[in-house]
Amino acid sequence: MADGGAPASSSSLVEKQFEDFRLHLEESGSLRERIRAVAAEMESANRIMHSSLLLVHQSRSVPEVLEKAKGQIVVLKELFNRLAEILRECPGQHYRYHGDWKSETQTMISLLAFLHWLETGNLLMHHEAEEKLGLDASEFGPDIEDYLIGVCFMSNELPRYVVNQVTTGNYDCPRKVLKFLTDLHAAFRMLNLRNDFLRKKFDGMKYDLRRVEEVYYDVKIRGLTTNDDSTEDQGTTQA
Amino acid sequence: MADGGAPASSSSLVEKQFEDFRLHLEESGSLRERIRAVAAEMESANRIMHSSLLLVHQSRSVPEVLEKAKGQIVVLKELFNRLAEILRECPGQHYRYHGDWKSETQTMISLLAFLHWLETGNLLMHHEAEEKLGLDASEFGPDIEDYLIGVCFMSNELPRYVVNQVTTGNYDCPRKVLKFLTDLHAAFRMLNLRNDFLRKKFDGMKYDLRRVEEVYYDVKIRGLTTNDDSTEDQGTTQA
Amino acid sequence: MADGGAPASSSSLVEKQFEDFRLHLEESGSLRERIRAVAAEMESANRIMHSSLLLVHQSRSVPEVLEKAKGQIVVLKELFNRLAEILRECPGQHYRYHGDWKSETQTMISLLAFLHWLETGNLLMHHEAEEKLGLDASEFGPDIEDYLIGVCFMSNELPRYVVNQVTTGNYDCPRKVLKFLTDLHAAFRMLNLRNDFLRKKFDGMKYDLRRVEEVYYDVKIRGLTTNDDSTEDQGTTQA
Amino acid sequence: MADGGAPASSSSLVEKQFEDFRLHLEESGSLRERIRAVAAEMESANRIMHSSLLLVHQSRSVPEVLEKAKGQIVVLKELFNRLAEILRECPGQHYRYHGDWKSETQTMISLLAFLHWLETGNLLMHHEAEEKLGLDASEFGPDIEDYLIGVCFMSNELPRYVVNQVTTGNYDCPRKVLKFLTDLHAAFRMLNLRNDFLRKKFDGMKYDLRRVEEVYYDVKIRGLTTNDDSTEDQGTTQA
């Protein structure tokens, strides 16, 4: 060691630095706690929305189910805007805390996408999700990989939906779902998935597709569908 | 499902969206590959610097060891600036990719801090690390938690150093290192560590401290130190 | 250290304290052994009851199966009252030893609930479980979380039951079980489950529900059910 | 299933029961959150007290160190009484939540016992710990096993203390600590330890004893102790 000169002053500089760190860690710790509090509320709103949507499997009227589920979109919109506001306090650090709300985002996307599909028969687009949540993409919106994972989760719900619809006598449902899922699966196949979790979830979509094909086969082989087989969709109003 | 309006066009919108995603994933994938290539070079520079510094345990002349090790600082500086340049392409996404170079940053800090301590007897401050690497903190510098973890790693090197110095007859070394480590440990204790990895690494510093105390005890009990016991440090020039 | 005054007497005080501890640990140790002995007998009674109940999957006459299984309720009642008596010796320490019998309670609840459902088509209520065991809730009864976990275990038995009933030609069974399980699942969803184990068990109920839906789908698609699709239940007497 | 009588009313009874459970789980969940908040403050007070006590290893004046550390006893006393107050809301369920504060109790006992030993040279008795915390044993005090584990933790601090005291020239310290630790170890050996964690911690005390014996041997063999070897303690005032 070279001559230390003024070790006492060096020691007080170290103390000063750690005092700064203490404040820094307190700040980022309390920021994280606030983010986690919002994420916990998101999880709760997701749970309520999920409960409402699940009724669609019990042959309840779709419009009634959708009306109830939509009530939670307002709540989620408020929560995402509260999150965006917190993140505005730490510009450029969005991804530092991203792990604390990404799972909630994925679940929410899956629910919004299922609701949107029940309503329109179409895939909820990424920009439509942002609009529903009142978010400005240039600043803060659902991460694209979280959106894609959410869409995979939504696909997992479809085989069950098809089975329950056929049970209630809606024999046209499998064909429609099959067309939707086939297109979705083809679209995903365009992507070079390097995110391991996303790739695994996408692999699961294959099983959803297979199960829907089997149900479609069951209704066809028993002559339960009366309409033509054209994959052209002629209006998608559902029971 | 409500009447879908124009399903064919909906299908092409989906295709368009996934084409956008494909480009987005390609871009972020290739960005990540470039970051990982830089991180691999950092790891290599760290390894060379570590090899040079290890010679200090073999009673080589400290100035000679330092000279060689410093050669790698130039390399690391160039690499960090290359990394900063890549990150300038994706503003606000620094923390998205942070996991790809944080381990290299921690190792580098531990090496720079050891080198600095050998040279000056003082702790390398965070802003000094930034200066050595020619980084502008306002834009991109070593994360504070990475700095703290690196300092813990550096502490792990000290017991071995003390043992080897005593072996070569430098009986005054344990007292100096003990004072440095005691102050460092006390400074860390001011922090409320919520980062689990950092907390664990800091817990390890306790064993370094204890080991150095044991060595100091050994030289004291054998009457190998000649100076008085005052914990006052009277100049820290080292052999 | 300040002047210790009378160290010898201090030493004997320490001895006295540890002698008290020795007695205390002996007592709580032997209490625990007695509790574990009762728990071991409970496990055995549960196993016998489970064996009896499993015969219901083999198209045995339900009343005969129930008669045999009910024989163990008497045994379990006696064991729970023996346990209550032991716990009366250590008032307020019920939860100290709770880990020693909770798994047995959960299994027992699942068996009682399955038996009750076979008999009545209804969910065994918590207070009904207490009555069957002759316990006084104000003093000692099955923990609510253990009751809920037991109910989840019971749900795991239902898909297998449905499959075996359909095999024996009871095509009306899936509809009834589906209604029961759907209501149960909806009731659980009202709860904010913070107990990780319970939450995980409840997550499993979803798969039971899905499996029963699949069986219901199978009998419907093959036209094996003759009754209308109304989810209204018109009398639940079972084969 | 027997004739269900009034299935609709059964369904509403289930709903009523789960509504009760929902309230019950909310209540116990919020109770647990309040307990955990107190436990987090205990951990923080322990951390501060530990930092103060650690200075005793750096040859600071013992009375000064003790004065500072004692400041936290007031805080801990307030926290334990707050905890006792919360537990008064759920009589007989003390042990249900015990896992949430037991680790904090163990650490606190180890710190109080070390402080007490530095001050008096004696072991902090269980009832003395209760008095320091202003707790009423008949209602709520530190669990005996937690007390014993805390004492084991305190023993772990002694070898380091002895080493540092010898380094500063207090050659009489090893003999005193050795006597204390030998008595403590003998007292523990009276107990039949069935608690696995406690047994393991006690096993560790053996290594503390061995290390102190080695230090005592070192000072003896070098003729650094001048007083007689009688294990009779003649006043324990410490440097």
Whose CA is closest to C238, among C122, C140, C151, C160? Answer: C122
Contact A59 C231 (CB under 8 A): yes
**What is the pLDDT, as a whole number, of residue B4?**
42
Is-contact C39 C101, C-beta < 8 A?
Answer: yes
Q: Give the confidence band of B1 by pLDDT, cuts at 50, 70, 90.
A: very low
Question: CB distance from C229 to chain A under 8 Å?
Answer: yes
What gap in Å lies between CA C175 and CA B146, rounded to an integer? 59
Contacts of C21 in chain D (CB under 8 A): 144, 148, 191
Residue C141 has a pLDDT of: 84
**Which chain D residues are closer than 8 Å to C32 by Cβ?**
194
**For D18, which of C26, C95, C190 is closest by C-beta distance?**
C190
Helix D144-167 / helix C7-54 crossing angle, nearest 10 deg: 130
H/E stretch holding B84 reads helix B62-88
**Contact yes or no for C217 and A167 at CB 8 A:** yes
Question: Which of A44, A160, A222 is nearest residue C221 as measured by Cβ atoms?
Answer: A222
Question: Which subunits sit against D, judged by 3+ Cβ pairs under 8 A?
Answer: B, C
D96/C98 touch (CB, cutoff 8 Å), yes or no: yes
User: Tell me, what's the pLDDT at A84?
Assistant: 93
The pLDDT tens digits for B55-98 are 998 877 889 999 999 999 999 999 999 999 999 998 888 899 99
* A and D adjacent (3 or more CB pairs under 8 angstroms): no
A192-221 pLDDT tens trace: 988 789 999 999 999 999 999 999 999 999
CA atoms within 13 A on the CB side of A236: 23
User: Would you tell me how many other CB atoms lie within 10 Å of the CB of residue D89?
Assistant: 10
Give the residue from chain D lying closest to B188, CA to CA: D51
**pLDDT above 70 coverage of chain B, percent:** 90
Q: How far is D160 from chain B (nearest CA, A)?
A: 7
**Which one, of C172, C165, C161, C155, lies nearest residue C209 by Cα?**
C155
User: Confidence band (pLDDT; 50, 70, 90) for B145?
Assistant: very high
Predicted confidence (pLDDT) at residue B8 exceeds the cutoff of 90: no
Q: Which residues of B118-153 are buried (b: 16+ CB within 10 A; e: fewer)?
A: bbbbbbbbbebbbebbebeeeebbbbbbbbbbbbbb
Angle, CA of C142, C147 and C151, to the nearest 5°: 150
Quote the Cα angle for D120-D123-D129, to 5°.
Answer: 95
* pLDDT tier for residue B35 given thresholds of 50, 70 and 90: very high
**More confident call, B146 vs B8:** B146
ipTM: 0.86
Enter the tokens of residue C147: 């009751």
Q: Which of A205, A212, A208 is nearest to A189 (CA)?
A: A205
Q: Is C45 left (phi over 0), alpha (psi -120 to 50) or beta?
A: alpha
Over A219-232, what HEC string results? HHHCCCCCCCCCCC
Say which DSSP state C99 is in.
Answer: G
C-beta separation of D94 from D209 below 8 A = no
* pLDDT tens-digit map of D140-198: 889 999 999 999 999 999 999 999 999 999 999 999 999 999 999 999 999 988 878 99
CA-to-CA separations, A161 to A48, A173, A211, D102, in angstroms, rounded: 19, 9, 11, 48
Confidence class of residue C226 from pLDDT cuts 50, 70 and 90? low
Confidence of residue C230 (pLDDT cuts 50, 70, 90): very low
- Verify whether the Cβ–Cβ distance B190 to A19 is below 8 Å: yes
CA–CA dist B98, C127 (Å, integer) = 55
Q: What is the CATH number of domain C27-142?
A: 1.20.58.190
> What average pLDDT score do residues D225-236 get?
49
User: Mean of the per-residue pLDDT values for chain B?
Assistant: 88
For residue C163, pLDDT beyond 70: yes
Taking a contact as any Cβ pair under 8 Å apart, which residues of chain A between 92 and 121 contact chain B?
Answer: 92-96, 98, 117-121
Q: Which of C9-13, D62-66, D207-211 is predicted most confidently? A: D207-211
State yes or no: chains B and C have 3 or more CB pairs below 8 A. Answer: no
Any C CB within 8 A of D91 CB: yes
- Please report the pLDDT score of residue A60 as a whole number: 78
Q: What pLDDT shows up at residue B153?
A: 97
Strands (E), chain B: none
Nearest CA in chain B to D52: B186
The CA distance from D14 to B15, in Å, is: 48
pLDDT band at C29 (very low <50, low <70, confident <90, very high): very high
Query: Is D164 within 8 Å of B182 (Cβ atoms)?
Result: no
Q: Which two tokens stand for residue B62?
A: 């400290």
Q: Is there a contact between B236 and A19 if contact means CB atoms under 8 Å apart? A: no
Which tokens is B203 given?
Answer: 């817990």
Q: Which CATH architecture has domain A17-128?
A: Up-down Bundle (1.20)
- CA A42 to chain B, closest CA, distance in angstroms equals 22
Chain B residues in contact with D162 (beta carbon < 8 A): none
D2-39 residue pLDDT tens: 444 444 467 788 989 999 999 999 999 999 999 999 99
Query: Is the pLDDT score of B208 beyond 50?
Result: yes
Residue range C29-51: average pLDDT? 96
Residue A234: band (very low, low, confident or very high) from pLDDT cuts 50, 70, 90: very low
The domain made up of B22-137 has a fold known as Methane Monooxygenase Hydroxylase; Chain G, domain 1 (1.20.58)
Give the closest of A3, A93, A120 to B235, CB-based.
A3
Q: 3.40.50.300, 3.30.70.2660, 1.20.58.190, 3.30.70.260: which CATH number matches D23-142?
A: 1.20.58.190
C239 touches chain D (CB under 8 A): no
Task: Tell me whether residues B213 and D51 touch, CB distance under 8 A.
Answer: no
Q: What is the mean pLDDT of chain C?
A: 88
pLDDT, position B10: 76
C-beta atoms of A148 and B21 within 8 A? yes
Residue boundaries of the structural domains of chain C: 27-142, 143-225
Q: Does domain A143-225 have CATH number 1.20.58.200?
A: yes
Give the chain A residue whose CA is nearest to the CA of C185: A51
Question: Which two structure tokens, joined as six digits, stand for C25?
Answer: 């640990």
Name subunits touching B (3+ CB pairs < 8 A). A, D
- The stretch B196-204 carries a mean pLDDT of 92
DSSP conformation letters of chain B? ----S-HHHHHHHHHHHHHHHHHHHHHHHHHHHHHHHHHHHHHHHHHHHHHHHHGGGGT--HHHHHHHHHHHHHHHHHHHHHHHHHHHTSTT-HHHHGGGTHHHHHHHHHHHHHHHHHHHSSPPPHHHHHHHTT--TTT----HHHHHHHHHHHHHHHHHHHHHHHHTT-TTHHHHHHHHHHHHHHHHHTS----HHHHHHHHHHHHHHHHHHHHHHHHHHTT---S------------
Mutation choice for C interface testing from A53, A58, A158 by most C CBs within 10 A: A58
* Residue among D124, D132, D6 at smallest CA distance from D79: D132
CB contact under 8 A, D3 and C190: no
Give the tens place of pLDDT for each residue, A8-55: 467 788 989 999 999 999 999 999 999 999 999 999 899 889 988 988
The answer to whether the Cβ–Cβ distance between C216 and A167 falls below 8 Å is: yes
Judge contact between B90 and B108, C-beta under 8 A. no
CATH architecture group of domain B143-224: Up-down Bundle (1.20)
Rounded to the nearest angstrom, the minimum Cα separation between B144 and chain D is: 22
D105 to A4, C223, D110, D156: CA distances (angstroms): 44, 66, 9, 17
Residue with the larger pLDDT of the pair D61 and D206: D206
Q: List CB contacts (< 8 A) between A163 and chain C.
A: 213-214, 217
Reply yes or no on whether the pLDDT at D229 is more than 70.
no
Q: Are D109 and D129 in contact (CB under 8 A)?
A: yes
Check pLDDT > 60 for residue D125. Answer: yes
> For residue D145, which amino acid is it?
E
Taking only residues 61 to 80 of chain A, the set having a beta carbon closer than 8 angstroms to any beta carbon of chain B reads none
- Asked if domains C27-142 and C143-225 share a fold, the reply is yes
pLDDT at residue A235 is higher than 50: no
Cβ atoms of A222 and A187 within 8 Å: the answer is no
Q: State the smallest CA–CA distance between residue C190 and chain A in angstroms.
A: 9
Instruction: Give the lowest-confidence range in B10-24, B131-145, B164-178, D185-199.
Output: B131-145
User: Could you tell me which residues come within 8 angstroms of residue C54 by beta carbon, excluding any fewer than 6 positions away?
Assistant: none
* Interchain CB contact of B8 with D (< 8 Å): no
The predicted model gives C202-210 an average pLDDT of 95
**Distance (Å) from the alpha carbon of A92 to chain C's nearest alpha carbon:** 34
List of residues 6+ apart from D14 with CB closer than 8 A: C122, C123, C125, C183, C184, C187
Q: Using a CB cutoff of 8 Å and minimum separation of 24, what contacts does C57-61 make?
A: C57/C160, C57/C161, C57/C164, C58/C164, C59/C164, C59/C167, C59/C168
Q: How far is A91 from chain B (nearest CA, A)?
A: 7
Query: Does the distance separating the beta carbons of A160 and C186 come in below 8 Å?
Result: no
Domain D144-226 sits in CATH at 1.20.58.200
DSSP per-residue letters across C172-212: THHHHHHHHHHHHHHHHTTS----HHHHHHHHHHHHHHHHH
**Which tens digits make up the pLDDT trace of A109-122?**
999 999 999 999 99
